Amino acid sequence: MTKNILIADDEKNMIWAIKRALKDENYSIFSAADGEEAVKQVKSKNLQLVLLDLRMPKMDGMEALKEIKKINADLPVIMITAHGTMESAVEAMKIGALDYISKPFDVDELKIQIRKAIDVGDMSRQIEFLTEELQNATGKIIIGDSHKMKEILEMVNRVSKSNATILITGESGTGKELIANAIHYSSDRSNKPYIKVNCGALPEGLLESELFGHEKGAFTGAIERKIGRFERADEGTIFLDEIGEISLAMQVKLLRVLQEKEIERVGGTETIKIDTRVIAATNKDLLEMVEKGEFREDLYYRLNVIPIELPPLRERKEDIVSLVDYFLDKYCKEIGRNKMEISKNALDYLIDYKWKGNIRELENIIERLVILNQKGKIEKTDLPKDILYQEQANTDFTLPTEGINLEEVEQSLIRQALESTDYNQSKAAKLLGITRHTLIYRMDKYKIDSNKE
């Protein structure tokens, strides 16, 4: 599809030069001689990028940028700067400009910057579409403007078009099922069956029958043929939640399904080919289970083709305000009352809280506050005691007057955590309040050996 670019510059030679540089690219190019005209064209045209000069008559580039961002906050804008206006370029990026080019510019560099800017705009629109589609399909929405959640949504957008097996990991309450929903409902299988199985909620004997089905007479109580969930999910998706709970015997059978793309019903002899996309999820450390012999290594790698790790809420605190606002709106609507407010003091306590139960815990607390609060505003005194008194458990570190080397302190703490846990990475990560994957990344960064010396 042809991309529409607006060049806003009062120098006709500059507009001509940029048009000439882009003549072989697949762009439709529009031009504006001042900021006011640029703003009008943003309102009237479907643009994918604006190149905006800082120095223009009627309305300069900075004011035009502010107006453009009011009209379309996601529209990428690259500032055109002259020598000596670098401070203004930095200020423009704080307002919302994506990048800047300096006069005179390098043609190849200009083309690269434009392609990158348009890709960013496309990705923003895809994420917005994906979020809306998920809400329409499931009645639920993924809330999160943090960098981590944007990266995850970008990953969801990329992998949903493939048929690869996906393993979603993260603590309880982080939203693993929502991510699985997003992958299915934005995939080419979205109009096909989507079957969910909680592997931890079913005993082993029943789980096999549920997954693969059974023939009449296969066991006591099997009075008729039962079609299993893998078979029901043919051409669609099966979501295996709490995959770390299945027995080693069941792991062998699941491995065969993933390898051969076929099943046999319990008590049957017929081999049934299936085309089912598998998404698995767990709050357990499967690699640690592999090391202990509790989970098959070959199955782990079959499941972990594309890993998606969801961060705990304490590592994405910038999303808490949006989540609180969403849940307040949701539960006020449910009980038919006007939307409640929350004081800044109370919100600060929620932001500082550790949230061991993650988003699920936050949602439960907001629901309780909405139901029990008779006022129109949630105050600090309305919060549960464990949130109010969290500060008593917090340790305050005082920065020495001579300062510290933060990297040396971090390395020392990592080594201490590893030594105190006999180099058990999962336990060491828990001591440090980070995920195991984050610990491994930092060990690699500081070249810390994973074994005892």
In the prediction, which pLDDT does 85 show?
60
Q: Would you state the pLDDT for residue 374?
A: 82
Neighbours of 292 (CB within 10 A): 9
- 123 vs 262 pLDDT, higher one: 262
Q: For position 270, what pLDDT does the model report? A: 83
**Per-residue pLDDT tens for 125-140?**
666 555 555 554 544 5
Residue 122 in contact with residue 154, Cβ under 8 Å?
Answer: no
pTM of the model: 0.58
pLDDT of 395 higher than 60: no
Mean pLDDT of the chain: 85
Q: Select from 1.10.8.60, 3.30.70.270, 3.30.43.10, 1.10.10.2160 the CATH code of 314-393.
A: 1.10.8.60
What pLDDT is attached to residue 239? 96
Residue 393 per-residue DSSP state: G
Q: What percent of the chain has pLDDT over 70?
A: 91
> Which residue has better confidence, 381 or 406?
381
Q: Stretch 208-212: mean pLDDT, rounded?
A: 89
- For domain 406-445, which architecture applies? Orthogonal Bundle (1.10)
Give residue-wise pLDDT tens across range 245-276.
Answer: 999 999 999 999 999 999 988 888 888 899 99
Q: Where do the structural domains in the chain lie, given as residue ranges?
A: 3-122, 147-309, 314-393, 406-445
The residue that leads in pLDDT, 51 or 449, is 51
The reported pLDDT for the residue numbered 141 is 56
Element (H, E) at 151: helix 147-159
| CB-CB contact of 377 with 340 (8 Å) | yes
> What is the mean predicted confidence (pLDDT) over 217-245?
88
pLDDT at 117: 86
Q: Which two tokens stand for residue 354?
A: 């550790």
Same fold, 314-393 and 406-445: no
Q: Which amino acid is at 357?
A: G
- DSSP class per residue in 24-77: TSSEEEEEESSHHHHHHHHHHS--SEEEEESS-SSS-HHHHHHHHHHH-TTS-E
Q: Is the pLDDT of residue 399 over 90?
A: no
Cβ count near 224 (within 10 Å): 8
pLDDT value at residue 300: 96
Stretch among 156-160, 170-174, 273-277, 442-446 having the lowest mean pLDDT: 442-446
pLDDT bucket at 81, cuts 50 / 70 / 90: confident
| Range scoring the smallest mean pLDDT among 80-94, 113-127, 147-161, 338-352 | 80-94
pLDDT, position 403: 78
Q: How confident is the model at residue 369 (pLDDT cuts 50, 70, 90)?
A: very high
Q: What percent of the chain has pLDDT over 90?
A: 34
Q: Are 88 and 62 in contact (CB under 8 A)?
A: yes
Fold of the CATH domain 147-309: Rossmann fold (3.40.50)
Q: Look at residue 453 in the predicted model and tell me its pLDDT.
A: 52
Determine the pLDDT at residue 394. Answer: 47
**pLDDT of 222 over the 80 cut:** no
| For residue 436, pLDDT beyond 90 | no
Of the candidates 18, 17, 9, the residue with the CA atom closest to the CA atom of residue 38:
9
Q: Report the topology of domain 3-122.
A: Rossmann fold (3.40.50)
Of 116, 10, 20, which Cα lies nearest the Cα of 64? 10
Name which of 48-62, 174-188, 396-410 the model is least confident about. 396-410
Residues 400-418, mean pLDDT to the nearest whole number = 84
User: Is the model more confident about 422 or about 310?
Assistant: 310
**pLDDT of 134:** 54
